[in-house]
Amino acid sequence: MTPSFKGNVRVKNDTVNLFRYFAATAQAVFLYTCVQETIEHALPDKVVYLQAYGRFSQVTQAILEMPNQKIDLLRHFLKQAIGHLSKHARMKEFAILTDAKTTRIEGLYSDSFSKLADAQAVVSTFRATHDERRNLHHRERVCVGALNAPPSHRTR
């Protein structure tokens, strides 16, 4: 490179290969991170949830012989009340439950979803870390996008 008569820089070497493709390193790293976190965290946590859900549904069905929709409602009420069936839910939706069956189902819910509580603690930590990384990658994409834009579109 040598300065021209007017002070511009003149490139004498063949540089077309240096500028032919855009730099996608940040995007590739972001995609890799998303896939890695899905494989290492999201899928195993989903498997734990599905196993807990299946066990709870199957045993509850054997105890109560209810339709799946009603069992889902029962699970939802137990989740809302952190493993206990509220008085309102017992009186309005599940009046057929005896105290013994209620205690048994609450214990079953606790046993089935105890691993899930541990997994959810990990998931919440993962989500916070993921949000931080996503924000960082978003800022990097904005910067990379600005650098890859044609000179007339760059902000000054």
Average pLDDT of span 102-109: 93
- Rounded to 10 degrees, the C-alpha dihedral 37/112/67/78 comes to -90
Domain residues for the domain of 115 are 24-147
Q: 65-102, pLDDT tens digit by residue?
A: 889 999 999 999 998 888 899 998 888 988 888 999 99
Rounded CA separation 6/1 (Å):
14
- Residue 125 pLDDT > 70, yes or no? no
Q: 18-61, pLDDT tens digit by residue?
A: 777 888 899 999 999 999 999 988 898 888 889 999 999 999 99
11 assigned to some structural domain: no
What is the tally of structural domains in the chain?
Answer: 1
Of 64, 44, 52, 49, the residue nearest 109 (C-alpha): 52
16 assigned to some structural domain: no
13 assigned to some structural domain: no
156 assigned to some structural domain: no
124 assigned to some structural domain: yes
